[in-house]
Amino acid sequence: MARVCPVPTSPQPAPRNAAAGFILGWGLLPRERRQVPLISVIAAGLLALCLIYSWQRFLWFFHDELHRGAAYSDLNDFLLVGRMALSGKLAQAYSLSAMHLAQVADGYTGTFLPWVYPPPYDLIVAGLARLGPPLAFAVFVVVPFLGTLWLIRRIAGPRFSEVVICLFPGFYICLACGQNGFVTAGLLGAFGVASLSGSAAAGVPFGLLIIKPHLGLLVGLQCLMTRRWRTLGVALAVAGGASLAATLAFGLPVWLWFLHAAHGASAALAEGRYTLHYMISPYATLRAAGVPAELSLALQGALALFAIAMTWRLARGAGDPRIAQGLILALSLFVTPYALDYDTPILAVAAAFLAGPILERANRWQLAAIPALCWIISGSVLFNWVTSPTRLGLGTTGTQPVSFAGLAYVMLVALILWVLREALVAPGQPALNCTTDQGFAFWKGSRSFRQSPCQTLANQLGRTGSDATTRTASSTSASEKFNG
């Protein structure tokens, strides 16, 4: 569904002032007492802003009168469909016209916001509707947000601050909209660490991606290429169980309603009825620039084929397994034209895998370009609003802003591949077919999980400890270069 962020009905300066005060307090300390790097202080300030804003949103959901008009969010839409499912009116949610009438009656004042989620997702929103808005926000948004942060911290280790700063706008947008970006990011991240540990439990988060199946296409191909049959079996069992539960709850016709709504939404996407400046796909960038739908879809398809080819290459063997897994997750949004800014927490999980290797190899210009591109992608709604034709006096009222996020996404992937090009040419290494000893030992909390990527690769290839120490020293130098 299209993204809807609420517009604040009154100024709310507390989060901004709290974060600014946190950073300013650090700056007033004498230099010799600043034991924490500035980049960590900035990341902590940004996370403090997110947490304070989450608390404000939690309290805001207690007031029903604030959820109407411009303040209507995606979570309100989820709760609306949940109530429809509980009352036996789910068929109306999959009807574009009937759903719009229900949204207007619920306080929505926008134009096009279809419901095209698969039936297992209906089970989730039905449960959320029973909780009520405040608890639904806490359970569906805040808890996955904290879980995703914990997962990123375990993957990125000392590079956690860099990841938070690069993808902070996506975190904030997801909290504002009440969307599912943290849920899908957490599932893909859990799949990544479990897969690299050689555990068939990776099939559980993979199977749960049935709620947004297009995001799991590349990891499914990864399992096929690495012959993870047990993982695929677990994933099929989980996805099949969720689908069976949805069928028993809502009846077999729910799948026909879903397919009909998906077909209608595809036609609406080709007609440009979606708010393209919220989307981060190259397709949206091309359509917003006036490129015909057929050509835009063809170019998006070419990028999807590139992502599939890269997944095949990485799964066949490309050196460090952390780099391979991170790149596959980073490419996962290439396979669909329907990717929005609230999906960017997935890129944060990918960045957690890639931050260490990038810092070891990138120069200063590249280290400056990567965060800038990440902000354009994850904060696309703000960047596109600032550069909108109407705001710049180049268009009339109602002209949609040009979407730059898709172009920035392509540039980001190209730049990362260029920086990591030497790490992708190690032939014959089973990058994504590790055993538990070769993987991260994530579930056991092993300290080896916090090793640098080069240390992990050195252990796998049987290199001497001096080689690993040399690469670790270069990693420290790169980190100092980034922070300095």
Rounded Cα distance between 41 and 229, Å, is 44
Tell me the pLDDT tens digit for each residue of 447-470.
334 444 434 433 444 433 444 444
Report the pLDDT value the prediction gives residue 4, as an integer from 0 to 100. Answer: 62
Rounded Cα distance between 482 and 407, Å, is 25
Residue 368 has pLDDT above 50, yes or no: yes
Residue 391 has pLDDT above 80, yes or no: no
Note whether residue 125 is domain-resident.
yes
Average pLDDT over every residue of 265-276 = 79
Rounded to two decimals, what is the model's pTM?
0.80
Tell me the pLDDT tens digit for each residue of 151-177.
999 999 999 999 999 999 999 999 988
Report the pLDDT value the prediction gives residue 64, as an integer from 0 to 100. Answer: 62
Note whether residue 409 is domain-resident.
yes
Domain tally for the chain?
A: 1
Rounded to 10°, the helix 321-331/181-196 angle is: 150
* Cβ partners under 8 Å of residue 74, min gap 6: 1, 3, 4, 5, 177, 178, 179, 342
Note whether residue 35 is domain-resident.
no
Is 391 in contact with 385 (CB distance < 8 Å)? yes
Question: What percent of the chain has pLDDT above 90?
Answer: 46
Burial classification of residue 10, based on how many CB atoms lie within 10 Å of its CB (0-12 exposed, 13-18 middle, 19 or more buried): exposed
Rounded Cα distance between 49 and 70, Å, is 22
Q: Which of 25-29, 248-252, 297-301 has the lowest mean pLDDT?
A: 25-29
Residue 127 has pLDDT above 90, yes or no: yes
- Helix (H/G/I), strand (E/B), else coil: 261: helix
* Cβ partners under 8 Å of residue 396, min gap 6: 390
Note whether residue 172 is domain-resident.
yes
Rounded Cα distance between 212 and 220, Å, is 13
Is 311 in contact with 328 (CB distance < 8 Å)? yes
Residue 34 has pLDDT above 80, yes or no: no
Using CA of residue 25, residue 31, residue 34, residue 37, what is the dihedral sign? positive
- Helix (H/G/I), strand (E/B), else coil: 279: strand
Degrees, nearest 5: CA angle 102-103-108: 150
Rounded Cα distance between 275 and 288, Å, is 9
Rounded Cα distance between 274 and 266, Å, is 10
Rounded Cα distance between 367 and 345, Å, is 20
Note whether residue 441 is domain-resident.
no
Note whether residue 9 is domain-resident.
no
Q: Identify the band that residue 100 occupies on the pLDDT scale cut at 50, 70 and 90.
A: confident
Note whether residue 2 is domain-resident.
no
The residue segments making up the domain with residue 219 are 54-432
Provide φ and ψ at 436, rounded to 5°.
-60, -40
Is 238 in contact with 207 (CB distance < 8 Å)? yes
Give me 251's structure tokens: 């009846």
Give me 410's structure tokens: 């392509």
Note whether residue 420 is domain-resident.
yes
* Cβ partners under 8 Å of residue 116, min gap 6: 1, 94, 258, 261, 262, 265
- String of DSSP letters for 130-175: HH-HHHHHIIIIIHHHHHHHHHHHHHHGGGHHHHHHHHHHHHHHHH
Rounded Cα distance between 403 and 400, Å, is 9
Mean pLDDT of the chain: 79
85 versus 103: the higher-pLDDT residue is 85
Rounded Cα distance between 444 and 63, Å, is 43
